[in-house]
Structure 1
């Protein structure tokens, strides 16, 4: 199970670093034209803030565990990503963007599995 948790963690790190960096580096209009229509509803500072949270949580999934420095931060980061996905589901549900909700649900479940595994039986 430890290997499965590492693979899921790696996938989450990849997804959230890419998604967060997109939000940090691209202007609001570019995000909207790239298919992130939800960005229309938020000011640029909020979008950048979400990007910072996603990148920070992704690094929090990986660095504490690999460096053996405060490894309790890994499941906390996974829990944070799960909460971000709950917020994303609410936003997409209000906008009736149902296909996107499926992606958010998958990421929510993956983050919850990592949080459960690292808080519980497969901690560091």
Structure 2
């Protein structure tokens, strides 16, 4: 793996590990100030999204680190692109139309997927 992959994927994994953990353990009231959309989504779905984010973060780091199923890393990154595409749709259909962070996360995930499949990473 090259240094660029580890920097970008590491930062992305840290973000999703943090955000996913919050969604899994915090109450709706404690999530609301950071995530205005939580009132429009059933709490089990919020918890499931958090679990997916934690698993995706793990998928960015563990496969390249261990060499086991390394194709999982670009798949996890592409999963985050899809997740953020859905997040943008949720934001745009509600009152909260701020999607700058979603765009940045989707772009970062796309770069991570590209780096994970590039010739410098093998």
Question: Smaller-chain TM-score range?
Answer: over 0.9
Structure with more contact order per residue of length (Cα contacts < 8 Å, sep ≥ 6): 2
CA distance in structure 2 between the aligned counterparts of 1:92 and 1:105, rounded to whole angstroms: 12
CA distance in structure 2 between the aligned counterparts of 1:123 and 1:70, rounded to whole angstroms: 14
Residue 18 of structure 1 and its aligned partner are, at CA, apart by 0.2
Q: Structure 1: which 5+ residue stretches go unaligned?
A: none
CA distance in structure 2 between the aligned counterparts of 1:20 and 1:55, rounded to whole angstroms: 5
The equivalent residue for 2:21 is 21
What per-residue deviation string (whole Å, max 9, x for no partner) do you get for residues 26-50 of structure 1? Answer: 0112211x32110000111000000
CA distance in structure 1 between the aligned counterparts of 2:6 and 2:71, rounded to whole angstroms: 15
What per-residue deviation string (whole Å, max 9, x for no partner) do you get for residues 44-81 of structure 1? Answer: 10000000110000000000111111111010000111
What per-residue deviation string (whole Å, max 9, x for no partner) do you get for residues 77-106 of structure 1? Answer: 00111111111111111124233x100100
Q: TM-score, normalised by structure 2?
A: 0.93
Q: Aligned-residue CA RMSD in angstroms? A: 1.5
The alignment status of 1:64 with 2:63, answered yes or no, reads yes
CA distance in structure 2 between the aligned counterparts of 1:106 and 1:65, rounded to whole angstroms: 23
Poorly superposed stretches of 4+, deviation over 4 Å: none
The equivalent residue for 1:95 is 94
Give aligned pairs, total. Answer: 122
The equivalent residue for 1:5 is 5
CA distance in structure 1 between the aligned counterparts of 2:86 and 2:72, rounded to whole angstroms: 21
